[in-house]
Structure 1
Amino acid sequence: QVVEAVTPATAAVLEWGVGDRLVARCAGGGALFVLALEIAGEPVMPASLVERLGPGPWRLGD
């Protein structure tokens, strides 16, 4: 789901958004709510990302 069509361009990151939602901020300046996420074939809930990856925001594409 598109959150912001145009924002300042930055590094692509995944971060906490409003409430318990994740937001992917794209390098080109857009922002998307992440409605579902899988890591290594396992569904991941937003709260479990800190346990798996440490505190965010998390860089995308690394």
Structure 2
Amino acid sequence: MAAFAAVDEDPFNATVSAVTAYTVAAELAAKQASGPGSFVVSFLDALAALEESDLAEQAVLS
């Protein structure tokens, strides 16, 4: 969250961006994980590997 707030002057936009990125990364991680322990590792890997195209394809904002 802090990383997003550091690059966006609007706190609301920063929060929405951060939550969207975390949600997409979590969805990607859930596909790879075989349990709660492996989910944590998969989530961190998904965050590190997150691409703009992942967000464009999977993010749903309403």
| TM-score (structure 1 length as normaliser) | 0.28
* Higher Cα Rg, which structure: 2
Question: Larger relative contact order (C-alpha < 8 A, sep ≥ 6)?
Answer: 1
| TM-score (structure 2 length as normaliser) | 0.28
Indicate the structure with greater strand content. Answer: 1
